[in-house]
Amino acid sequence: MEVRIIGTGAHIPNREHKNNQFLDNQFFDANGESIPNNNEEIIEKFSSITGIKERKYTDPSLNTSDLAAQAAKIAIDDAQIDPESLDYIILAQNVGDITAHSDQSDALPSVASRVKAKLGINNPKCVAYDLIFGCPGWVEGMIHANAFIKAGMASRCLVIGSETLSRVTDPHDRDSMIYADGAGATIVEKSDSIPGILSHATATFTSEGEAEFIFMGPSNKKTDDSTKYIKMQGRKVYEFALTQVPLAMKECLDKAEIPIKELKKIFIHQANLKMDEAIIKRFYRLYKTPPPNDILPMNIETFGNSSVATIPTLLDLVRKTNFKNHKIEKGDIILFASVGAGMNINAITYKV
């Protein structure tokens, strides 16, 4: 039995927030000290490292569950299925259904349950739950769906990655320019003949303080405000990712017994352009071969980092629009890979 993707969908917010819109921000370092460089220099350096020129923010009237439901509807239509036939809705998210201009995350009921209600699904046997796994959440959701189907517990699952990180960013932290909003969804089902998920690998690192590399903390501007924002130890995240992600990708590909030369595309979490390119180079170095020029679709330049939504959103774009001349065809071997808070790493080898 195989587990394959039969439909994809994405909600791409229409509000573009460009780098120059941060020119009036007052930036402080992690110690609360004002950064001496002017904002033009800060933004230029940020863009040269991350590759981000703009990011997508959702409309204030929409929450994480709204984005997720819209992406899910598109995936359901793409798969041409009855939503009542879904056995599981697995929704990867990290900050809940936080509303605009709010400082409180709302995850009760689960975002997945809210999405099920928004989709109008009546079947009580359709189980909906949230998966909090950092940025690798959607990939891990796919691994969950694969396990449920192969164990005979499900025939068809909806896996969603949805996030509104713009609502938990500190305007006084340079890293706030990284984050974005969005949602991507996939429908997966069992197949007796068509390939799909060939292998997967997952790891969680905590023994060397990795659990605190990405966290929720107070604003860099020292005040009495108790609001917490998404924070990260950027250098440690970068070094960790470059060390561990290529190894996980190799473990996954080797487990599928696929030669590196047969790999057509890598859909990696859109976290940081230079970091992702360096990960790919190190991954191919493990096989003593250079990466092909067209192996890595990227949209971080204009989409930013929407966490769990980055991979499924990009997958949908490539499947349906040949985004930036990237395309996938029947029989292609592709790899999904991600890294994020936990610190968690995972990968999937997939045959289209």
Sign of dihedral through CA atoms 217, 221, 225, 227? negative
State the chain's mean pLDDT as an integer. 94
Distance CA 136, CA 269 (A): 8
Distance CA 280, CA 294 (A): 12
Whether 224 has a pLDDT exceeding 80, the answer reads no
Q: Which fold has domain 2-191?
A: Peroxisomal Thiolase; Chain A, domain 1 (3.40.47)
pLDDT bucket at 117, cuts 50 / 70 / 90: very high
Are the C-beta atoms of 141 and 92 separated by less than 8 Å?
yes
3-state secondary structure of 107: coil
Distance CA 273, CA 264 (A): 19
Which comes out higher in pLDDT, residue 37 or 169? 169
At residue 296, the pLDDT reads 95
Segments in 183-272 forming alpha helices (H): 234-255
Distance CA 142, CA 8 (A): 13
At residue 106, the pLDDT reads 80
Provide the residue ranges of all domains of the chain, joining segments of one domain with +.
Answer: 2-191, 197-351
At residue 24, the pLDDT reads 87
Q: Which residue has the tokens 């190190």?
A: 282
At the top level of CATH, the class of 197-351 is alpha beta
Q: Are strands 127-131 and 88-92 parallel, antiparallel or unpaired?
A: parallel
| CA 287, chain centre distance (Å) | 26
77: left (phi over 0), alpha (psi -120 to 50) or beta: alpha
Over range 237-250, report the average pLDDT.
96
- pLDDT (tens digit, 9 = 90+) per residue, 8-36? 999 999 999 999 999 989 898 888 888 88
| CA 93, chain centre distance (Å) | 9
pLDDT bucket at 139, cuts 50 / 70 / 90: very high
Q: Which residue has the tokens 């993707």?
A: 5
Can you read off the two tokens belonging to residue 209? 């303080």
Sign of dihedral through CA atoms 321, 139, 134, 120? positive
- pLDDT (tens digit, 9 = 90+) per residue, 264-274? 999 999 999 99
pLDDT bucket at 85, cuts 50 / 70 / 90: very high
Q: How is residue 24 annotated by DSSP?
A: T
- pLDDT (tens digit, 9 = 90+) per residue, 54-76? 999 999 999 999 999 999 999 99
At residue 37, the pLDDT reads 83
Distance CA 165, CA 92 (A): 13
At residue 32, the pLDDT reads 85
3-state helix, strand, coil in the chain (%, to 5): 35, 25, 40
Over range 162-172, report the average pLDDT.
93
User: In terms of Cα–Cα distance, which of 307, 275, 267 is closest to 135?
Assistant: 307
Number of H-type helices and E-type strands within the chain: 8, 13
At residue 108, the pLDDT reads 85
User: In terms of Cα–Cα distance, which of 176, 158, 162 is closest to 132?
Assistant: 162
Q: What are phi and psi of 345, to 5 degrees?
A: -135, 140
- As a whole number of Å, the CA-based R_g of the chain is 19
